[in-house]
């Protein structure tokens, strides 16, 4: 099954639409002011990855197969032209919002970003001292001449191109130089209280360097200093055909990633055209790959500002995750799981029970083995520390570390080395397949028998993101499910054919077919006049066979509700194609991350939680898990918390239309009850 090209939207355009919804949170004056600044920064972070990954991939495809259409029928070149234009509009809107709205609003709250012309004499003196003590000793000005070619610039680094007059200390005439701001330097500097007159006052690093750059080129005249930033292709490419040691290969590629081919040049609006042309030619870019910005070229660094300000009135009210009552009783976690499955919904419910599970397993003398997958985990992980302690104590510890987890490779390499040093068995997944599954399996010896305990999640074992991402985690001692988990671990770490699983489904073997079969069953039930319904929640919907199956379901009369946070290339609510499909996206204070699938199945209500989005890579290029929710009480929770409340949200929900556009779900102040998914779930599950 392959859908008609006209029935598929452009993936990259859909991703930009997602970022437009994120930007809308920064535009929304009901969002606390410092949170608006964060959302603005998040858009910049997302756009960085968009250029580093998606635009870079399209450029590679354009070079290899310029005339070959992609899934939506357009060639890479056509898509590039279209999305660059859309990205430019989005970026311009970002800076307009920052300059015309957010910065003035912050100033009214005595949070001030000072321009150079506003500095007092005392402030200027402090800034000069700061420059001399903290900046000048570590920056390296490079004059451009035959002996000093243009330096190799790091990906996304802040740089300055400088126009000069005169000769240097050696009598060499030169008119251009480059200064790269070291990454160790903060991009926003807060002035001390005695210079701030009761306000929170900040100065951009770029302003400081602009102001003091003459001190770096003594005896010469600085005619101009202009900031710019280069974004590079950051795809980590490891050749499977010539691979002897994945760890060494990834470590080698991590360095090279910083110097990939250029995909975007950002320059200040005041940069002369001749210098823009010079940089464009130097980095082998086209004119439409240059983005002039009216402000700092690295807005992502503004995300640090709210944490530097003690203004709770300008931030989201704090929400405290709860610890389920079952964990407050005396007794071990193993006794709890033996009696019943436990569902955790983060961050409304704390991630701490998962940490406690691993820590208890690492200390329990009856535990003989621990197996775990790691995709993203953070730089200071209590879970990894517990695994290291377990390995050092002589337990059999096996950790599947996915070295190719995009932009987390460096942290994963670090932990892989630490785990190996402690004596753990470290496996780097399966060559050609990312291990994206989220599993912990503990084997415990009880009354001379081995019993398994497991955790299956929709999100990563990352204590930081567990406070911001919504995810489900199932803690279970179900013998069939834990046996399935063990089988999957054996597949990953060993060799041989995939065994038959009892209850779970997995990619790349059975998950995709199970989803197609489940959709087909709803189609057949609808054709027989029976109630038929599909609901699915995910981050992205891209896989063409599943899209075609959903179109067929709609045409058969199946009611389909999809909650897709990010990319969706399916066209909903198109007559004679998808009029029974509704797609909504929820964007708010938390990042929607869980994957949940529901099929009515004539009243059986098959419900699953999974690590997999509905994308080709998740179905065929990754090791993913999908576990059925069999306990009826937990099933009702999953349905209610994933769909029932979300489909009533009229505060943070967006409705998608067949052309790929989105509109906020309307709210009637006179007749509607306010429903905000995140607030509702914190009220239902949280501590306050």
Question: Residues near 439 by Cβ (< 8 Å), separated by ≥ 6?
Answer: 371, 372, 373, 454, 455, 456, 457, 485, 488, 489, 625
Six-digit token string for 578: 């998808």
Dist CA 664 CA 585 (whole Å): 9
Helix, strand, coil in percent for the chain, rounding step 5? 40, 25, 35
Dist CA 616 CA 544 (whole Å): 8
For helices 76-97 and 33-49, angle between their N-to-C axes, nearest 10 degrees: 160
- b/e per residue 386-402 (b: at least 16 CB within 10 A): bbbbbbeeebebbbbbb
Q: Are 607 and 629 in contact, with CB atoms under 8 Å apart?
A: yes
Six-digit token string for 256: 């090279």
Distance of CA 307 to the CA centre of its chain: 20
DSSP state letters, 293-341: ESS-S-GGGGGGSGGG---GGGSPPP--PBPPGGGTSSS-HHHHHHH--
Question: Residues near 244 by Cβ (< 8 Å), separated by ≥ 6?
Answer: none
DSSP class of residue 53 equals I
Between β-strands 533-538 and 559-564, what pairing exists: parallel, antiparallel or unpaired?
parallel
210, 345, 346, 436: which is the annotated catalytic residue? 436
Question: Residues near 682 by Cβ (< 8 Å), separated by ≥ 6?
Answer: 319, 348, 688
Q: Are 138 and 184 in contact, with CB atoms under 8 Å apart?
A: yes
φ, ψ at 113 (rounded to 5°): -100, 105
Q: Is 173 exposed, middle or buried (0-12, 13-18, 19+ CB in 10 A)?
A: exposed
Secondary structure (H, E, C), 374-429: ECCCCCCCHHHHHHHHHHHCCCEEEEEECCCCCCCHHHHHHHHHHHHHHCCEEECC
DSSP state letters, 582-627: EEEEE-SSSEE--EEEEE-GGGT-EEEEES--BSHHHHHSEEEEEE
Q: Are 347 and 470 in contact, with CB atoms under 8 Å apart?
A: yes
Q: Are 606 and 599 in contact, with CB atoms under 8 Å apart?
A: yes
Catalytic residue flag (residue 436): yes
Q: Is 10 exposed, middle or buried (0-12, 13-18, 19+ CB in 10 A)?
A: buried
Q: Which residues are catalytic?
A: 436
């Amino acid at each position: 099954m392959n859908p008609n090209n006209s029935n598929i939207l452009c993936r990259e355009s859909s991703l930009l639409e997602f970022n437009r919804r994120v930007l809308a949170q920064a535009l929304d004056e009901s969002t606390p002011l410092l949170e608006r600044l964060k959302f603005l920064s998040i858009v910049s972070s997302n756009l960085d990855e968009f250029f580093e990954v998606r635009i870079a991939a399209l450029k590679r495809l354009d070079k290899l197969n310029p005339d070959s259409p992609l899934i939506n029928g357009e060639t890479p070149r056509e898509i590039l032209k279209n999305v660059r234009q859309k990205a430019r509009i989005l970026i311009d809107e970002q800076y307009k919002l920052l300059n015309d709205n957010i910065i003035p609003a912050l100033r009214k709250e005595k949070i001030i970003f000072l321009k150079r012309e506003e500095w007092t004499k005392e402030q200027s003196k402090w800034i000069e001292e700061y420059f001399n003590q903290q900046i000048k000793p570590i920056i390296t000005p490079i004059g451009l001449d035959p002996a000093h070619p243009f330096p190799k610039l790091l990906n996304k680094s802040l740089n300055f191109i400088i126009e000069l007059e005169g000769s240097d200390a050696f009598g060499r005439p030169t008119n251009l130089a480059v200064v790269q701001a070291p990454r160790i330097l903060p991009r926003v500097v807060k002035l001390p209280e005695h210079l701030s007159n009761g306000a929170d006052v900040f100065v951009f690093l770029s302003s400081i360097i602009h102001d003091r750059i003459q001190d770096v080129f003594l005896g010469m005249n600085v005619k101009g200093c202009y900031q710019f930033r280069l974004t590079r292709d950051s795809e980590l490419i490891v050749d499977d055909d010539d691979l002897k040691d994945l760890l060494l290969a990834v470590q080698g590629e991590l360095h090279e990633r910083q110097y990939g081919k250029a995909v975007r040049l950002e320059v200040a609006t005041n940069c002369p055209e001749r210098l823009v042309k010079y940089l464009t030619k130097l980095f082998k870019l086209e004119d439409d790959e240059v983005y002039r910005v009216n402000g700092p070229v690295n807005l992502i660094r503004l995300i640090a500002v709210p944490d530097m300000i003690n203004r709770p009135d300008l931030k989201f009210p704090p929400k405290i995750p709860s610890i389920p009552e079952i964990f407050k009783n005396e007794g071990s976690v193993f006794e709890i799981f033996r009696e019943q499955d436990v569902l955790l919904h983060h961050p409304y419910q704390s991630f701490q029970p998962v940490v406690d599970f691993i820590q208890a397993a690492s200390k329990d003398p009856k535990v003989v083995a621990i197996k775990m997958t790691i995709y993203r985990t953070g730089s200071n992980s209590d879970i990894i520390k517990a695994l290291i302690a377990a390995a050092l104590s002589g337990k059999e510890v096996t950790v599947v570390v996915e070295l190719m987890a995009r932009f987390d490779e460096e942290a994963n390499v670090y932990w892989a080395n630490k785990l190996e040093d402690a004596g753990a068995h470290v496996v780097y997944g399966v060559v050609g397949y990312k291990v994206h599954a989220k599993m912990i399996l503990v084997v415990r010896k009880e009354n001379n028998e081995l019993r398994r305990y497991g955790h299956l999640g929709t999100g990563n074992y990352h204590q930081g993101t567990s406070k911001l991402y919504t995810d489900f985690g199932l803690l279970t001692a179900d013998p069939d499910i834990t046996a399935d988990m063990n089988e999957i671990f054996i597949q990953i770490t060993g060799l041989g054919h995939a065994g038959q699983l009892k209850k779970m489904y997995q990619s790349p073997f059975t998950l995709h077919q199970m989803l197609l079969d489940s959709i087909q069953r709803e189609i057949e039930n609808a054709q027989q006049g029976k109630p038929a319904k599909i609901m699915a929640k995910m981050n992205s919907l891209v896989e063409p066979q599943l899209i075609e199956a959903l179109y067929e379901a709609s045409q058969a009369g199946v009611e389909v509700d999809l909650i897709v946070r990010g990319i969706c290339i399916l066209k909903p609510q198109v007559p004679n194609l998808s009029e029974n499909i509704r797609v909504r996206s929820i964007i708010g204070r938390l990042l929607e991350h869980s994957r949940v699938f529901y099929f009515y199945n004539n009243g059986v209500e098959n419900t699953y939680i999974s690590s997999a989005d509905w994308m080709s890579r998740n179905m065929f290029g990754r090791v993913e898990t999908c576990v059925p929710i069999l306990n009826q009480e937990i099933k009702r929770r999953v349905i209610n918390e994933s769909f029932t409340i979300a489909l009533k949200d009229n505060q943070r929900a967006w409705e998608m239309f067949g052309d790929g556009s989105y509109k906020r779900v309307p709210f009637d102040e006179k007749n509607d009850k306010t429903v905000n998914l995140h607030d509702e779930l914190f009220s239902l599950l949280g501590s306050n």
